[in-house]
Structure formats: C-alpha cells, structure tokens
Structure 1
Amino acid sequence: MGDLLDDDLEFRGGTLQLSTDPNAEDPAGSSENNTATEPKSKPSSNVNPSILSGADSLSSSTSSFADARTQEPANASAVPPQEQTVYPRYDVPFNRENIKDFFTFRKGVVENAIQECITVLLFPEDGEYLGAWLLTEITLWDNEKERIVLLTSRLVMTIKYDFIAMKQLDFKKTYLDDLDTIVIGEMVYPPSSLVPERNLRGVRLMWNKGEPLPLKMAWNPFNQDVPFITFASHPIYWHKDGEVEERSTYDMEIFAQKLQRAVESMASSSCCIHHSPIVIQSYVGVSSMLHNKTSMGFFKVRGKFSF
C-alpha cells in the first residue's frame, strides 16, 4: 500500500508543471519523441491593401459580400483571427433638421423620379432591369453629387436629375462589359493629404485597365472622361424612417451587392472585384470641403431660394 501511494505521488509531481510560454510544447510529448517535433505554423493575416499603389496591390476577389454595418457576432472570440473583419465606423452626415431641406426627403419625390427615368431612358436592348437607387457620386475632385443610378444586366446608368423641376438633366451609361475592376471599401485619402477622414464606405467602378490617369486629365476639373466612377450612400439613408426596403433605395451597400452579382453572372466579363480601401486623390481639398459642407451637389431649400 505504501509503495502504491509513493508511486502515485511521484506521478502527480511529474505532471503538475506550469509554463509561462504559450507556445511551449507538452513536456510529456517531447520526452516521448524528441527527434520528430514539427514547428507550428503561424496563421496568416488577411489584410486588404490599399489601391494607392496601383491595381496590382489589390486583394483577391471574394465571393461573399460583407456589409460594413453588420454587428459583430456575440461569439466573435471563437472566430479565428484570419476570419475576423474590422469595419470602419460611419459618420452620420447632416442632422435631422438639415436633412428636411433636401427635396428628395419629401415623400414620393424619389419614387416618381426613378419611375420616370426607368420609363423614358431604359430600352429592351439595355438588358434586364435589376434595381434603382439614389446615391452620392464622389467625383475626381472629391465633390459630392446627388445621382439616380439604374442597374441592368448590361449597364449602370448615372442620371443627373432636377428634383425641383422634376425633370432629367443628363445621363451617362457605363456598360458592365467595359469594367475591368470594381473596388468596395472604405474611402481614404493619401498619407500626405490634409483632408479629414470621411469614415465612409463606397464602391468604385473602373475601366482604365489599371493605368494611372494622365496629368492633363487628373488636373482638369471640367474633364468628363474620367475612367472610373465612385458612389457612396445618400445622406438620407441615415435619417429615413420606415421599412428596410424603403431605406435600401439610398444604400450603397445594396447597390454594390447587386452590381457584384450582375458582373459575376456575365460569362463574357473579365472584371475583378476587390474589397479594399478606395483612395481619393485629394491633398488640400479646400474647395471640395466647402462644396460638400454646403451640400451644393444636392437639390435643397437654401433660405429664400431653392437650388
């Protein structure tokens, strides 16, 4: 009996060993096989690079679309590090009182305008109708513009619409076959930029085959041939009450999701879809900040005037 007790104590003393090194291997396992130890592989980090350095630095396409406003699940600690995604926070544009000055905030205005554009501008040869939105276009010079966007199985139509006179002013068709890159992600500025961060996500449609913009195009504010277009959610999205379907009309995320599906369903398309930051080449941005602060790109009541 005494021998059994001594053996038991000796066994326990050999197993109660603590180590402060989290990577330390089991001492019992190492004593059994000292020559066949394998180094542990380190999990690779899934970091989406910026498009600032060019199209080659973009992350690979993903088949699933991630909404930045989705709450992190309660069991997020159980998700491996390489599968966790950190989304940027949103800055709510304007306040409840200012948003009421927008003509598009009035009931029925956007719906009637979209229906008119669909009836007048879309034809059978434009493909199957997939959806319509009121979004914010971010121009090359970082100016925000209010635009109706129609999506079909063949094209994206961007429409400048007068919401005061209720008439279409101009439109532009971008065919999905011409797109070579679509980028979905947070909008950022170059490191040397003095412009405050937007804290806003967007989607950029590109058809320049990864080539940088010529100087005469990049520095011409009146140039209309920029080979990409950028959209963000309309400010009304954050202030519109009602059903999710009604708010989706102003939601860039829903548009980007349907655009991605439309492109992926085209057998003839060679477009690559990436989830990474969208670089806005604005360094000082005084004029654009003034333009966006006063919401000059939107139709709204401005004191005694409306424009």
Structure 2
Amino acid sequence: MLNQMDNDEGQLVNFDSATLQIAKETDETIIQDENNIRTTSSSSASHVPSIPFKHVDVHSFFSDRHELVEKAIKDCQDTLATDQDDEIIGTWLLTEISLWDTEKERIVILTKNSLITVKYDFISLKIVEFNRISLIDVDTISVGELQYPTTSIAPRLNGFADGLSSAIQCAVRKRWSSITDPSDVNFEPRTRNMMGLRLMWNKGQPVSFETKWNPFSKKIPFITFTSHPLFWYKGLKEEKLRFDCDAFRAALALILPHGVFMESPLIVENYLGLGAIIHNRNSLGFFKVRGKVSF
C-alpha cells in the first residue's frame, strides 16, 4: 500500500521506480559535472588565478592581535584626527599597493573631509609616518580587479615562485603521492586575483615620466588599496570588516558623489616585478614575527 497511491485522476504511480530513476539521473549529472571540471582544468587559460596570501602565516602578523589593532587605531585617532568639526566615518587596516607594486600595511582613517593613511609600528606602538588627503581634491574612484600590463613578466615570475614554493613544500613533506590536482604544482603565470580601489586626484592628467619612474617621489596623484591579508582568514563577519576594502568603498560612497565612482581594472604598472615579488612574498611591508626577530 505504501508503494502505490491513487492520484487525482485515479492512476497508479510506482514511487520506487520514480525514485530509482531520479537517483540514476542525479548520478549521471554528477559524473558529467566532474568530467566537465576535469576538462576545464586540463584546458585552463595560461593565467592561473591564485589564492591571495596563501603562502603567509597570518598568525605571525602583529595585527592578528585584535586588542593591538584597536589600540593602534585609537592612538592614530587621538593624534591625527583632532578636529572636532571633522567627523570620523570609519577606520580600517588595509593593504596599500604602491606605484611599484609593493604591498604595505596601513591604518586608514576616513573622516567627513579627509582620508588619513598611517604607517604604524605595531612592535614599538608608534606612528612612523602618515599622509592626509583632502576628499575635495578626489575626482575619481576606480573599483576593479588588480591587473598587470599585457607586456609585464610579473605574472610569469609569480607563477614560477608559486610553483617552486609548492614543489619544495611537497618534496619536504614527502607527499607527492597525495597530489591529485596537477594545478597544485605548476608554473603557469599567476594573476593577482584581488579586487582593489584607487582614489585619484590628477584631474584626468597623466602622471609625468619623472614622477612615475622616481622611486622616491612623494607626489603620486593616486593611492591604491586592497584588503589586508587577515581578511581572508578571519571567521566572524565583524572581524572581517576591519580588514575589508569593500567596506571602505561602501563608506566612501556615503560621503562622496556617485559620479566620482567608476568600475575599471586597476593596472599596476609593474613590468619586471622581481623586486616587488621578493618584497611581497616576504611581507616586508607588514610588521611580523620573523623567526628570532620581528620587524
């Protein structure tokens, strides 16, 4: 009686058969999807997306200590945001990407009238340097994926560095047999695979050759941010917001006209990339515990 029932038209339906048929179709779909995934992986494009900051030990960051970040932000607010008429909109700990593609840890304080970026020493607990940008000067905010120029060899160097690092780790751990995905160890060019935000105040004018190629120039008319490495490792949403570049963008949208925002790839003009790769892979722009020393 449980296997057969009358429907509204009085016909008998065998649900056991229907169940078996559905299960069979589901199994076939899964197998087909797995085959599609394998085919896609084997014919992947030459630029492989990489997991942001997968090679870093986030627990070695001094900023991984919540109370330390809160103290640092309070110190910066008390020292730099002292204008009672300039309301503080929000504070974050983000990654600033320089003109030379080097990643640097920065405290960001957004007020009603200005943007303050701070290099803060999380070891000695002091402000090292800061920069104040008047929001009235900002004419464009570009939001998009960080990309290299088409002629840059930086993606190839990134791919080689990631592949070599993965190969060494597997060899040391003697786990070659456990690798089932060939993409775990390969030397294909690697994209940045990160979204970012760039504030510009150059009124549409190109950056001069002298400014662009002077590593000591302080007159760069734009600043680029992306999320802090800790963003990808924090579990709670409230914790992630402190390190989230998109949360910073949302706060900017509350106080700046909609017309200044545009969606566009953020070109990082790094053509050779060797110096930036060494700097970024060793997190030299972040305060960390590095073996027996910290800097």
- Give the Cα separation in 2 of the matches to 1:226 and 1:211: 12
Which sits farther off after the overlay, 125-134 or 251-260? 125-134
Aligned position for 2:262: 274
Q: 2:250 aligns with which of 250, 257, 266?
A: 257
Q: 2:278 aligns with which of 290, 294, 297?
A: 290
Q: 1:164 aligns with which of 108, 118, 123?
A: 123
Tell me, yes or no, if the aligned pair for 1:89 and 1:200 is still in contact at 8 Å.
no
Tell me, yes or no, if the aligned pair for 1:126 and 1:154 is still in contact at 8 Å.
no
Q: 2:54 aligns with which of 94, 110, 131?
A: 94
Structure 2 SS opposite 1:250: coil
Structure 2 SS opposite 1:100: helix
1:166 offset after TM fit, Å? Answer: 0.7
Which consecutive residues of structure 2, in runs of 5 or more, have no partner in the other structure? 1-47, 156-190
Aligned position for 2:147: 188
Q: Normalized against structure 2, the TM-score is what? A: 0.69
Q: Deviations along 1:73-121, whole A, 9 cap, x unmatched?
A: xxxxxxxxxxxxxxx97723135x7111111012311111011111121
- Give the Cα separation in 1 of the matches to 2:85 and 2:115: 9
Aligned position for 1:212: 206
Pairs within 5 Å for 1:194-205: 194-196=153-155, 197-205=191-199
- Give the Cα separation in 2 of the matches to 1:282 and 1:104: 28
- Give the Cα separation in 2 of the matches to 1:111 and 1:180: 31
1:150 offset after TM fit, Å? Answer: 0.3
Q: Normalized against structure 1, the TM-score is what? A: 0.66
- Give the Cα separation in 2 of the matches to 1:161 and 1:100: 18
Tell me, yes or no, if the aligned pair for 2:49 and 2:192 is still in contact at 8 Å.
no
Amino acid at match of 1:213: V
- Larger fraction in helix: 2
Rate the CA distance shift 1:255–1:191 in 2: closer, same or farther, 3 A: same
- Give the Cα separation in 1 of the matches to 2:151 and 2:273: 12
Amino acid at match of 2:228: H
Spell out structure 1 runs of 4+ moving beyond 4 A.
none
Pairs within 5 Å for 1:77-226: 91-94=51-54, 98-124=57-83, 127-196=86-155, 197-226=191-220
Q: What count of residue pairs does the alignment treat as equivalent?
A: 213
Amino acid at match of 1:171: F
1:123 offset after TM fit, Å? Answer: 2.1
- Give the Cα separation in 1 of the matches to 2:120 and 2:263: 30
Rate the CA distance shift 1:90–1:204 in 2: closer, same or farther, 3 A: farther
Identity %: 45
Tell me, yes or no, if the aligned pair for 1:126 and 1:155 is still in contact at 8 Å.
no
- Give the Cα separation in 1 of the matches to 2:193 and 2:276: 16
Structure (1 or 2) with the larger CA radius of gyration: 1
Pairs within 5 Å for 1:235-246: 235-242=229-236, 244-246=237-239
Which consecutive residues of structure 1, in runs of 5 or more, have no partner in the other structure? 1-87, 266-270
* Cα RMSD, aligned residues only: 1.7
1:241 offset after TM fit, Å? Answer: 2.8
